[in-house]
Amino acid sequence: MSHTKKHKRHHYNSNDGRDEDEHQKHHLSKTIEQPIEEPVIDPSFDWLARRHYLTETYLIDSSMFSSPKDLEDFWKFVQKYQLFQQRRKQPHKPISTNVDQQRPNILNIPIIYDKNYRLNISITINKSLTHNVPRYDMTGEKIIDQYRLSSVRLAEFKSIIEYYFDFNQKEKFKRIHKLRQDQNNLPIANHRRELLEELKIHQVILIAGDTGCGKSTQIPRFLLEAGFDKIACTQPRRIACISLAKRVSYETLNEYDNQVGYQVRFEKTRVKSTRIIFMTEGILLRQLQTDSSLSDYDILVIDEVHERHLFTDFILGIIKCLITQRKDLKVILMSATINIELFSNYFENCPVVKVPGRLYKIQVNYLPIKVEESVGKTSKIDAKPYLRIMEQIDNKYPSTDRGDMLIFLSGMAEIQGVMEAAQSYAQEAQRWVVLPLHSALSLEEQDKVFDMAPEGIRKCVISTNIAETSVTIDGMRFIIDSGKVKEMSYDGKYKMQRLQEFNISRASAEQRKGRAGRTGPGVCYRLYSENDYLSFQEYSTPEIRRVPLDSLILQMISMGLKDPRKFPFVEPPDMTAIDSALLRLQEQAALSTIDCSLTSIGSMLARLPVDVSIGKMLIFACIFQYVNPILIMASALSIQSPFLSFLQCDPDTITRRRPMMSNHGDPFTLLNLFDEWIYVKSEGQNTRTWCKRRGVEEQRLYDITKLRRQFQDILRDYNMEIDYQQAKRRTTLEKREHWKKKQQLKDLKSEHDKESKQRKFLKLEFSIFLIRIDRSPSTITIKSI
């Protein structure tokens, strides 16, 4: 059987004896009246000069092009096609279909075009492309068109359209082929069969994979293709949920479908048809309150278990209890190769699938910061060591040698300090684009770190530990590790949680180093000595052993776990910490002083996704009929402060903040800030500039708005009074102003939805590198006030 016949059999299931050309003609006859053979192409004919005529006559009312952009792409194709034909310098007839004389490529398609290898596609072509249709003016007189085409030209134009769609389809197939190659080259691909076989036998399995092995993106895809229909994947951070959902959607070819979605605190893309849902651990705990058996899922994927977050340990304990009741529930734990014996032993020696990473050689340079460098500085961090490394890279490595840089710092203030100095250096050197990455950024700003820098330019991402394991940015070759991290700790003297700076663990240091060797040899610059490294703890202290447990204990009791002391923790906290939490909950009237059972107030507090003290604010606001301002205060106190701390000593910033400051304390200052921001936005002013001049992170004001609405919905679910009388007392003018604000915000939403979300490359503007589509956070909509 010839190669052509094999190709035919692959595309058709026909037994009527017709050859492939006859079959194609029959297939196209439904949409084209008279199929035409390949025309002789005249390279001197100018199609672009007839663009307007051809578009108006044949294409504008056609269903072939779904948008003006598609039509514009078609004419770009025609321009390239015409140039290609002109280079031939002579009329060209189709190449012989003797495929034995043609060398196929990796897609088994001849290098030289052969119409027998067109894709089996059907397009609806305007009937006028096979018959000249006369045009008439408004008086009925026939228009004599100077660009009117002959029958031969019409046939040629139809062929160009078919070439265009054929070209587009093959380009898509090339991208899919490349995607599948990349997936098969990941280390996790070699363990797919082992993973699925272990999952058939065991209820719980642990996957321990090094950085870059592909476990977070590929395992959900494996499960989907294996037939699992309801897959829940948890992540400790919202940015990881969103970025992973987008990536898995792309890799499963579901970008425009709803099979893969995410659900985080303020946003969700989940619908009834969603099969893979990425969510934060807090969302899963909320679902456990209403469905203790998690009946919506047939498999749970708990990622980043090695980070030992408070809710991660709690979820693992719940799963340990749940799997004894639901034998059909499958569980996959995913961890870096850190302390994996602890988790395996916790789940009765569950099997461990070890996946080696794809790390290249990484050179480690210890460059401890000298003490005298930071003496006398007003800034919390000295940027000079970081700039020296950037300059060293510029001098040692040519700009044609690709490779980006990732800097790990402890917090936002440190990121801002280094970023300002690095941007100044980048503006001077013209070799860098500098971007921040932390949880307070908007989704649009977070997405910028995944964009590509142009040739000869390096990208420098300055991040918190969010880029340590949760987010993977391709192309990183250089790592600068400050050796610091900020974690929540509890101050027993003042009964407050504090975000304090600590040294990282050795395990975290290795994770950070590994980010440099994913795509090629890398270099890790550690701004501490080797002796410092050896003095670090082996693993980070679990969060359950360094933060207050009030909210966790309240959640446990509300879910029916009467004695938290008997809960099967992975590593139990100090019993005195549990006793202290129980005592504080009793003082807040959330638990009974007799038997530690849940009170009515405690039941409501457990439903609210906030600290116990803030929850009580909301409850008493309803009692005293003063809900609206308290909703704003509670929302503002539940997130990081909108005021940027590194600007708190700036004289101009202090002056501009002064009118909003309240003598009654921070809650009232935050209320004044929010009210003033809403007023500025309602007047149509540039709120981004307004916030910048006052040292305010605007994204957090949007978060306050979203959280306020969420709190309001929760209170209404409990049938609690929402200050309706205050709304009734509004004057006509106040109602009109209220409607005006809502309408303006609605217009902002429409404007935001119309904008393109694609952002792929970085470019140079005004001597510094900016994002090609730099959308201001002010375009994000507040749905209601």
Tens of pLDDT, residue by residue over 243-287, are: 899 889 988 888 767 899 999 876 888 888 899 999 999 899 989
| Whole-angstrom distance, CA of residue 354 vs CA of residue 209 | 6
In this prediction, residue 334 carries a pLDDT of: 94
Least Cα distance to 596 among 567, 568, 556, 569 occurs for 556
* 329's tokens: 């529930």
| pLDDT of residue 37 exceeding 60 | no
| pLDDT of residue 727 exceeding 50 | no
In this prediction, residue 446 carries a pLDDT of: 81
* 617's tokens: 């604010």
CA atoms within 13 A on the CB side of 349: 0
pLDDT band at 173 (very low <50, low <70, confident <90, very high): confident
| Whole-angstrom distance, CA of residue 462 vs CA of residue 483 | 14
In this prediction, residue 284 carries a pLDDT of: 94
Percent of the chain beyond pLDDT 70? Answer: 75
| pLDDT of residue 3 exceeding 60 | no
* 285's tokens: 């705990």
- Model's pTM, two decimal places? 0.67
Instruction: Strands of 722-785 (E only): list them.
Output: 762-765, 768-771
Q: What is the pLDDT of residues 636-667, one digit of tens each?
A: 988 888 888 767 778 888 889 999 999 998 99
Q: How far is CA 207 from the centre of its chain?
A: 23
Q: What is the pLDDT of residues 668-706, one digit of tens each?
A: 999 999 999 999 998 888 998 999 899 898 888 988 998
| pLDDT of residue 775 exceeding 80 | no
Least confident of 313-327, 376-390, 424-438, 511-525: 376-390
Q: Which residues of 657-688 are buried (b: 16+ CB within 10 A; e: fewer)?
A: beebeeeeeebebbbbbbeebbeebbeeeebe
Least Cα distance to 705 among 444, 447, 442 occurs for 442
User: Who wins on pLDDT, 258 or 719?
Assistant: 258
| pLDDT of residue 758 exceeding 50 | no
* 679's tokens: 């007023």
Asked if residues 262 and 278 have their Cβ atoms less than 8 Å apart, the reply is yes
Q: What is the pLDDT of residues 592-604, one digit of tens each?
A: 988 888 998 998 8
* 280's tokens: 């934060």
Q: Where would I find the H helices in 515-593?
A: 530-535, 550-558, 575-587
In this prediction, residue 769 carries a pLDDT of: 34
Q: What is the DSSP letter of 397?
A: S
In this prediction, residue 750 carries a pLDDT of: 53
Instruction: State mean pLDDT over 463-478.
Output: 85
| Whole-angstrom distance, CA of residue 258 vs CA of residue 221 | 14
Least Cα distance to 308 among 340, 283, 276 occurs for 340
* 205's tokens: 């399995």
Asked if residues 132 and 99 have their Cβ atoms less than 8 Å apart, the reply is no
| pLDDT of residue 131 exceeding 80 | no
H or E, element range at 331: strand 330-335
Q: Which residues contact 121 (CB under 8 A, 6 or more apart)?
A: 165, 166, 169
Q: Which residues pair with 461 in a beta bridge?
A: 406, 435
Q: Could you tell me if residue 413 is left (phi over 0), alpha (psi between -120 and 50 degrees) or otherwise beta?
A: alpha
Place of tokens 């921070």: 666
* 288's tokens: 């456990």
pLDDT band at 721 (very low <50, low <70, confident <90, very high): low
Q: Could you tell me if residue 23 is left (phi over 0), alpha (psi between -120 and 50 degrees) or otherwise beta?
A: alpha
Q: Which residues pair with 232 in a beta bridge?
A: 277, 300
In this prediction, residue 9 carries a pLDDT of: 37
* 558's tokens: 């509300």
Q: What is the pLDDT of residues 206-243, one digit of tens each?
A: 999 877 788 999 999 999 999 998 999 999 888 889 88
User: Who wins on pLDDT, 57 or 502?
Assistant: 502
Q: Which residues of 751-777 are buried (b: 16+ CB within 10 A; e: fewer)?
A: ebeeeeeebeebeeeeeebebeeebeb
pLDDT band at 133 (very low <50, low <70, confident <90, very high): low
The CA-atom distances, in angstroms, between 277 and each of 231, 242, 262, 296, 337 are 6, 10, 5, 11, 25
Place of tokens 């988790």: 343
In this prediction, residue 371 carries a pLDDT of: 67
pLDDT band at 712 (very low <50, low <70, confident <90, very high): confident
User: Who wins on pLDDT, 164 or 350?
Assistant: 350
Mean pLDDT of the chain: 79
Percent of the chain beyond pLDDT 90? Answer: 33
